[in-house]
Chain A
Amino acid sequence: ETGVTQTPRHLVMGMTNKKSLKCEQHLGHNAMYWYKQSAKKPLELMFVYSLEERVENNSVPSRFSPECPNSSHLFLHLHTLQPEDSALYLCASSQDGTGVTDTQYFGPGTRLTVL
């Protein structure tokens, strides 16, 4: 595997379910990100991890819970979501999250539908 991978690619869940999204990067990067893309809206940054420590939480509701066990893996745990949380969830990684030229590389995304 190369680049940034995400599983599952598609997920349908009820509002009472608990599920997790997984992201893995094979680029040797130290920073990882979760983004949300809703229809007709720009990508919104949710969380940033640098060296496995959360450095940014962009006012995300607590029903979204990130976890970064090591610099290659990032999870987004989901529980009691709302239908308006249906969106494309994208993971990205970058070298270290510092420096203005630090470029982010994205995974293919998980298309989440909340019923």
Chain B
Amino acid sequence: DQQVKQNSPSLSVQEGRISILNCDYTNSMFDYFLWYKKYPAEGPTFLISISSIKDKNEDGRFTVFLNKSAKHLSLHIVPSQPGDSAVYFCAAKALYNTDKLIFGTGTRLQVFP
């Protein structure tokens, strides 16, 4: 039973436009959410995170939104650039199990010129 779900395996966006990557979770005990980016032949790189007490966190072109009632988070990239083409993983952890990150299956983003 997957606790973190990324239902879109791929997304294609034109350069300069907004990319929106979605993530749903089932465990209401999750307190902290992270997004990782992964290029081919590299490990996942931490991108941005959000605590459950917030509904938005912004870092440059990247913004993560959290809707706790819907158990949904999204990552917005504005404006999208070709270098953003990668696989994006959503991950979550609970306060009672802080060393255990639960990952989604990832969404492959392709930004084309």
- A residues adjacent to B (C-beta < 8 A): 4, 6, 9, 31, 33, 40-43, 45, 48, 50, 55-56, 90, 92, 94, 97-109
Residues of chain A within 8 A of B89, CB atoms compared: 42-43
Report whether B34 and A103 are in contact in the complex, using a CB–CB cutoff of 8 Å: yes
- A sample of 14 more A-B contacts (CB under 8 A), given A42-B103, A43-B89, is A41-B105, A42-B4, A43-B103, A45-B100, A48-B99, A90-B44, A92-B43, A100-B51, A100-B95, A101-B51, A104-B46, A105-B46, A106-B44, A107-B43
Judged by a CB distance under 8 angstroms, whether B49 is at the interface is: yes
- A4–B34 Cα distance when bound, in Å, is 19
Across the interface, name the chain A residue whose C-beta is closest to B4: A42
Report whether A90 and B43 are in contact in the complex, using a CB–CB cutoff of 8 Å: yes
Report whether A56 and B99 are in contact in the complex, using a CB–CB cutoff of 8 Å: yes
Judged by a CB distance under 8 angstroms, whether B59 is at the interface is: no
Residues of chain B within 8 A of A45, CB atoms compared: 100-101
- A40–B105 Cα distance when bound, in Å, is 7
Report whether A103 and B41 are in contact in the complex, using a CB–CB cutoff of 8 Å: no
Residues of chain A within 8 A of B98, CB atoms compared: 97-100, 102
7 smallest CB-CB distances across A and B, nearest first, come from A106-B43, A42-B103, A97-B99, A43-B103, A100-B32, A108-B43, A106-B44
**Distance in Å: Cβ of B102 to nearest Cβ of chain A:** 8
- A104–B98 Cα distance when bound, in Å, is 11
Report whether A4 and B43 are in contact in the complex, using a CB–CB cutoff of 8 Å: yes
- A55–B106 Cα distance when bound, in Å, is 27
Report whether A42 and B42 are in contact in the complex, using a CB–CB cutoff of 8 Å: no
Report whether B99 and A50 are in contact in the complex, using a CB–CB cutoff of 8 Å: yes
Judged by a CB distance under 8 angstroms, whether B27 is at the interface is: no
Residues of chain A within 8 A of B41, CB atoms compared: 9, 108
Judged by a CB distance under 8 angstroms, whether B67 is at the interface is: no
Judged by a CB distance under 8 angstroms, whether B2 is at the interface is: yes
Residues of chain A within 8 A of B103, CB atoms compared: 42-43
Report whether A100 and B45 are in contact in the complex, using a CB–CB cutoff of 8 Å: no
Across the interface, name the chain B residue whose C-beta is closest to A98: B98
